[in-house]
Amino acid sequence: MNFCSDGLQALEPYIPGEQPQVADLVKLNTNENPYGPSPQVIAAIAQAAQQGLQLYPDPLSLRLRQAIAQHHASAGIDAAQVFVGNGSDEVLGHAFRALFVRPGRKLLMPDISYSFYKVYCQLHGIEMQQVPLREDWRIAVEDYLAIDPASCAGVVLANPNAPTGMALPLQDIERLAAHFTQSAVLIDEAYVDFGAQSAVQLVARYPNLLVVHTLSKSWALAGLRVGFAMAQAPLIEALVRVKDSFNSYPLGRLAQVGAQAALQDWAYYRDCTARIVATRQALAQALQQRGFEVLPSCANFLFVRHRQHAGAQLYAGLRERQVLVRHFDKPRLGEHLRISIGTPEQSQALLAALDALL
């Protein structure tokens, strides 16, 4: 007996990285932040837990949106230009529903990118056109500019891209926004704080641009589930229409106050981010010395391939030695590993396990 639609049956859901229930693993598989959130976040959540949990939260998350706008004030963002959701995955899901369901047109995206994009397309019946990365793993903006914008439902890119970690310069994002004027250009900046240029400063000039951020990576709050989007008000209103047709209260009280406290303590996160970038550089060098090719990363992970050893074997060997990294069993990616940047101690544990293996 089959109670759901053929479309749902045919869809391949996203598979998140493993969250093992055993302790003592060196966990470098889901790009979590090794340093944990600001102490002010914990204090704000503890205080909010004392009172008011019997009441629904603010459905508009106004204070949080104001704190996000404040953090991006130099780009001229105000609260009406901010949308928040239960993790950026939810923000992305709503954005696909709101902006890219345009029958007869195709949504452009890189063939190798965050694999959730394809799932949202299947879920919402959006046709996609995957634009191949170049041989050197680069997103070539020229390839997108060669496509007739009238045939497109929009563009979605992760910048830096996942799982390569490579970033596009701001001018390239601007060229996309200027070419696809009649459809939305969504830039998923989950990793932008680790070294890429944010397109948020283009929002004031491009009414078709939607920039999506998450508190899960640089803000060390993957467990709280908060993501947000910034765009001119009409795009934000389209996302709000979807949200209010789905769940009026996507963020609980604790998530709203915790996220707000995080955004008000950027100094703490700036330090953590600088440490992660330094650890990334040291680890990239150590891996190169051990025979790995390492793509230039602007994110909190490295995408690497060993010259002699197969990706699947390395993954399994590391796992046996209590080190968990991410391996994608997919065309073109199978020889690679994606390694999240942890603490310097976690890097040492990874390198020790590799030295035992190689």
Ligand X SMILES: *Cc1c(COP(=O)(O)O)cnc(C)c1O
Which residue's CB is nearer to ligand X, number 309 or number 338? 338
Which residue's CB is nearer to ligand X, number 123 or number 357? 123
When asked if residue 114 is in the footprint of ligand X (CB under 6 A), the reply is yes
When asked if residue 162 is in the footprint of ligand X (CB under 6 A), the reply is yes
At residue 49, what is the residue type? A
Which residue's CB is nearer to ligand X, number 16 or number 20? 16
331 preceded by cis ω (within 30°)?
A: no
Question: Scanning residues 305 to 324, which ones bind ligand X (CB under 6 A)?
Answer: none
- Pair of tokens at residue 46: 């503890």
When asked if residue 190 is in the footprint of ligand X (CB under 6 A), the reply is yes
Residues ≥6 apart with Cβ < 8 Å to 35: 220, 272, 275, 276, 343
When asked if residue 216 is in the footprint of ligand X (CB under 6 A), the reply is yes
Between CA 129 and CA 110 the distance in angstroms is: 8
- 47-68 in b/e burial notation, b at 16+ Cβ within 10 A? ebeeeeeeeebeeebeebbebb
> HSE of 143 in the Cβ direction (CA atoms, 13 Å)?
14
Which residue's CB is nearer to ligand X, number 205 or number 332? 332
When asked if residue 232 is in the footprint of ligand X (CB under 6 A), the reply is no
Which residue's CB is nearer to ligand X, number 126 or number 259? 259
When asked if residue 297 is in the footprint of ligand X (CB under 6 A), the reply is no
Which residue's CB is nearer to ligand X, number 202 or number 251? 251
- Where do the H-state alpha helices sit in the chain? 6-10, 39-49, 62-71, 87-99, 116-124, 141-145, 170-179, 233-243, 253-263, 266-289, 311-320, 344-357
Shortest Å distance, C-beta 160 to ligand X:
8
Shortest Å distance, C-beta 18 to ligand X:
14
When asked if residue 98 is in the footprint of ligand X (CB under 6 A), the reply is no
- Pair of tokens at residue 185: 């250009």
Give φ, ψ of 196 to 5 degrees: -105, 170
Among 156, 222, 238, 284, binds ligand X (CB under 6 A): 222
When asked if residue 188 is in the footprint of ligand X (CB under 6 A), the reply is yes
Shortest Å distance, C-beta 56 to ligand X:
22
Handedness of CA 235, 215, 250, 7 (dihedral sign): positive
* Number of residues lying near ligand X (CB under 6 A): 12
103 preceded by cis ω (within 30°)?
A: no
Contact string (CB under 6 A) for ligand X, positions 65-94, x = contact: ----------------------xxx-----
Q: For binding to ligand X (CB under 6 A), which residues are involved?
A: 87-89, 114, 158, 162, 188, 190, 214, 216, 222, 227
